[in-house]
Amino acid sequence: MDKIKETIEEIGALDGDAMESARARQDTLTKPQRSLGVLEDLSVKIAGITRNHMPEIKDKVIITMGGDHGVADEGVSAYPREVTPQMVYNFLSGGAAINVLARHIGARVVVVDMGVAADIEVKRANANFIDNKIAYGTTNMTKGPAMSYEDAVRSIEAGIEVLGSEKERGMDIVGVGDMGIGNTTPSSAIVAFITGEPVEKVTGRGTGLDGEGLKRKIERIKKALELNKPNREDAIDILAKIGGFEIGGMTGVMLAAASHRIPVVVDGFISGAAALIAYELSPKIRDYLIASHLSVEAGHRAILDHLGIKPLFNLNMRLGEGTGAALGISIVEASCKILREMATFEEAGVSEKE
């Protein structure tokens, strides 16, 4: 717990002076003021986060965390649990969607085993794979807590450690993503519990459930909430009762990034659930979060509304892995390039508005 508390204590406010300077420069660039809309606002926010009125995004990192879920035994996913380790190997071999989009934006992908229900065997040293396995998946939350309180703490602390080690390799911005068959079920439970929205409203079809599967998923979430009765005043208890190891890991990554003044680009529904846990632990983290996109998954809008942040785009995506975060990072980078590289009216010799 000490590591979590220390990390939270290090999260500061945005730098008002840097933001003021960035906005002042934006207003002198060769364009009508505010004509680039969100791109201008993003660059100002990044200035406030980094304490640099001319921020530059060079070292881009996507951290994709994997974990399995005991509740998958309840038939809440259209895919078998074996897909989780199979996709981890796909990430490591560079063949997944997140690898393609990371290459597209020039980011490195770091894959973290937080609780995959199989041993991930890496034949040779791989700097982009981290084994932080806490257990071989969570237990079935319809029969008791998904994990112990101690393991919930460990998952968050593991995420803090991952961010710290990756920062030493170079990091100007981080995107968070996930992999875990069945993980929309605990995420929906978290969203319903924290936001107060009905389970039916925030529960979607995940990997493609049919009508009967969706009905069963909703019933299992209600059962888990009723059985476990999370403590609304304790975010770690919420994570322990109805969460997942990768959700805890992403929570730690977000908290640590904010403590180091690193912008966090949130992917979709699962990473959004982690953002809710992080926000419950420290509301200050909202200033450091950038919502990449609006997921097709039913409860994502409730997450964003609760956090008070707006998505950058909506491409009807729902894959996870950090794919939306990768595209979001490219937009953040573009906003900073506008601020740094675009000429002012004076520099370009262009007449200003009378």
Q: Tell me the DSSP string of 277-346.
A: HHHHH-GGGGGGEEE-B--SSTTHHHHHHHHT---SB-------TTHHHHHHHHHHHHHHHHHHHSPBHH
CA nearest to 36, candidates 345, 350, 334: 334
Nearest Cα neighbor of 257 from 329, 176, 144, 181 is 176
Q: Can you name the residues that pair with 108 across neighbouring β-strands?
A: 61
Q: What are phi and psi of 119, to 5 degrees?
A: -80, 130
Residue 275, φ and ψ in degrees, nearest 5: -65, -35
- Percent of the chain at pLDDT > 90 equals 94
Residue 345 predicted with pLDDT over 90: yes
Give me the catalytic one of 321, 341, 347, 354. Answer: 321
Residue 135's pLDDT band, with cuts at 50, 70 and 90, is: very high
Quick one: pLDDT at residue 16? Answer: 98
- Confidence at residue 126, expressed as pLDDT on a 0 to 100 scale: 87
**pLDDT given for residue 18 in this prediction:** 98
3 state DSSP class of 268: coil
User: Rounded to an integer, what distance in angstroms lies between the CA atom of residue 290 and that of residue 293?
Assistant: 9
Contacts of 57 (CB under 8 A, 6+ apart): 46, 172, 173, 329, 332, 333, 336
Q: CATH 1.10.1610.10 occupies which residues in the chain? A: 2-54+339-348
321 is catalytic: yes
Percentage of the chain modeled with pLDDT above 70: 100
Q: Which of the four pLDDT bands, split at 50, 70 and 90, describes residue 53?
A: very high
Q: Look up residue 169 and give its two tokens.
A: 């390799």
- To the question of pTM greater than 0.85 for the whole model, the response is yes
Q: Which pLDDT band holds residue 253 (cuts at 50, 70, 90)?
A: very high
Q: Residue 64's pLDDT band (boundaries 50, 70, 90)?
A: very high
CA 23 to mean position of chain CA atoms: 27
**Which tens digits make up the pLDDT trace of 173-227?**
999 999 999 999 999 999 999 999 999 999 999 878 899 999 999 999 999 999 9
Any idea which of 95-109, 175-189, 205-219, 314-328 has the lowest mean pLDDT?
205-219
Q: pLDDT tens across 259-269, in order?
A: 999 999 999 99
Region at 238 (left for phi over 0; alpha for psi -120 to 50; beta for the rest): alpha
Confidence of residue 127 (pLDDT cuts 50, 70, 90): confident
Burial of 342 from C-beta contacts in 10 A (0-12 / 13-18 / 19+):
middle
Task: Specify the fold of 60-331.
Answer: Rossmann fold (3.40.50)
Instruction: Please tell me the class of the 2-54+339-348 domain.
Output: mainly alpha
| Alpha-carbon 251 to chain mean position | 8
Say what the pLDDT of residue 207 is. 79
Neighbours of 337 (CB within 10 A): 14
pLDDT at 1: 80
Average pLDDT over the chain, rounded to whole? 97
Residue intervals of the chain classified under CATH 3.40.50.10210 are: 60-331
The whole-angstrom distance between residue 15's C-alpha and the CA centroid of its chain comes to: 23
CA atoms within 13 A on the CB side of 9: 6
For the cut 80, the answer to whether the pLDDT of residue 354 exceeds it is no
